[in-house]
Structure 1
Amino acid sequence: MEQLLAVQTQLMQALVQNQQNQQIGGAPRDKRGEFLKGHPLVFSHATNPLEADDWLRVVEKQLNIAQCNDQQKVLYASGQLQREAQDWWEAFEYGRPANAPPITWQEFRESFRSYHILEGLIELKREELRALK
């Protein structure tokens, strides 16, 4: 009887361990769901260049928390674009060669900043803010 109980205990422990392993590493995580849990803002345009930079930083933080890879970052961030920003994104994608490699997150960031934030304007705004303090 003791042997039977010992075997049952071992089986139960193995089942519990197997279930925990599946929850931790076995089943793929819903990274888009995790990204959206952070309630990332949509972006359409910004009258202040710091707003565009802030949007990009906040979205990137949420993407990192969700542990997204490069392609997921580009896909999920571009999914938060609307109106003028969506038009920019579609034109950017359309302007790429058909056989071009997938857009990297770094490429997305740099292109977003160069289009939505005039070069040097962020630093100028930061200097203005520092002068006010």
Structure 2
Amino acid sequence: MKGHPTVSNHATDPLQADDWLREIEKQMNIAQCNDIEKVLYASGQMQGVAQDWWESYLYGHPNNAPAVTWKEFTNNFKSYKNPDGLVELKQEEFRALKQWSMSVAEYRDKFAQLSRYVSNEVTNDADKQRHFLQGLYDGLQLKLMSNTYANFQALVNHTIVIDNKHKEMEVKKWRLQG
């Protein structure tokens, strides 16, 4: 409890449920808990709708059944919080993601968040770079496409530098015209 874990009640964003599970698991790994202790602790941090789900889930287990394992708990909780239809919507959102008026940092963060739903499409660094480039606005994309980058972070760093310079030039141009 010293880790001050959050309580799971009703998250509308499926990533919040996943983040909550990751936070709980991190705390339990630090405390060197076994699977049963993880399940007991996590279920004790549930309130409201999440608690209702857990109680309903337990009703489906006979008293003589083996205890719920951490893997079983996480798989079923994710299945409950992340129904296939919602996951598909998030996958489509990733595929349609464009930078538009977002800063590069905002776009990178949204890209990272949504890429968790399409892990099979961004299996390696080259895939991440390709998808990231596709979502940038055309002018920035054109400036970056002719280069190769050692890794995804190098691409992001270069994108930030070029985008910043582009914005500086736009401001200069606006001042000269004004």
Same fold (TM > 0.5): yes
Equivalent position SS for 2:36: helix
> In 1, distance between residues paired with 2:93 and 2:35?
29
Please provide the CA RMSD for this pair: 2.2
Alignment counterpart, residue 91 of structure 2, candidates 124, 129, 133: 124
Q: Provide closer, same or farther for how the CA distance between residues 126 and 78 of structure 1 changes in structure 2, counting only shifts above 3 A.
A: farther
Aligned residues: 98
**If the length of structure 1 is used for normalisation, what is the TM-score?**
0.67
Runs of 5+ consecutive residues of structure 2 not aligned to the other structure = 98-109, 112-134, 137-155, 157-178
**Which residue in 2 is equivalent to 1:88?**
53
> In 1, distance between residues paired with 2:93 and 2:79?
17
Equivalent position SS for 2:50: helix
> In 1, distance between residues paired with 2:46 and 2:10?
9
Max radius of gyration: which structure? 1
Question: How far has the Cα of 1:118 moved from its partner?
Answer: 1.7
Equivalent position SS for 1:38: coil
Q: Provide closer, same or farther for how the CA distance between residues 106 and 93 of structure 1 changes in structure 2, counting only shifts above 3 A.
A: same
Equivalent position SS for 1:62: helix
The share of aligned pairs that are identical, in percent, is 56
Question: How far has the Cα of 1:98 moved from its partner?
Answer: 2.2
Preserved CA contact (<8 Å) 1:50 1:125: no
More relative contact order in 1 or in 2 (CA 8 Å, sep 6+)?
Answer: 1
> In 1, distance between residues paired with 2:91 and 2:82?
11
**1:11-70 deviation line (CA, Å, top 9, x unaligned):** xxxxxxxxxxxxxxxxxxxxxxxxx11110000011111111111111111010110011
Pairing 1:103–2:65 present:
no
Preserved CA contact (<8 Å) 1:40 1:59: yes
Equivalent AA in structure 1 for residue 47 of structure 2 = Q
> In 2, distance between residues paired with 1:92 and 1:107?
11
**Which residue in 1 is equivalent to 2:9?**
44
Runs of 5+ consecutive residues of structure 1 not aligned to the other structure = 1-35
**If the length of structure 2 is used for normalisation, what is the TM-score?**
0.50
Equivalent position SS for 1:37: coil
Q: Provide closer, same or farther for how the CA distance between residues 72 and 126 of structure 1 changes in structure 2, counting only shifts above 3 A.
A: farther
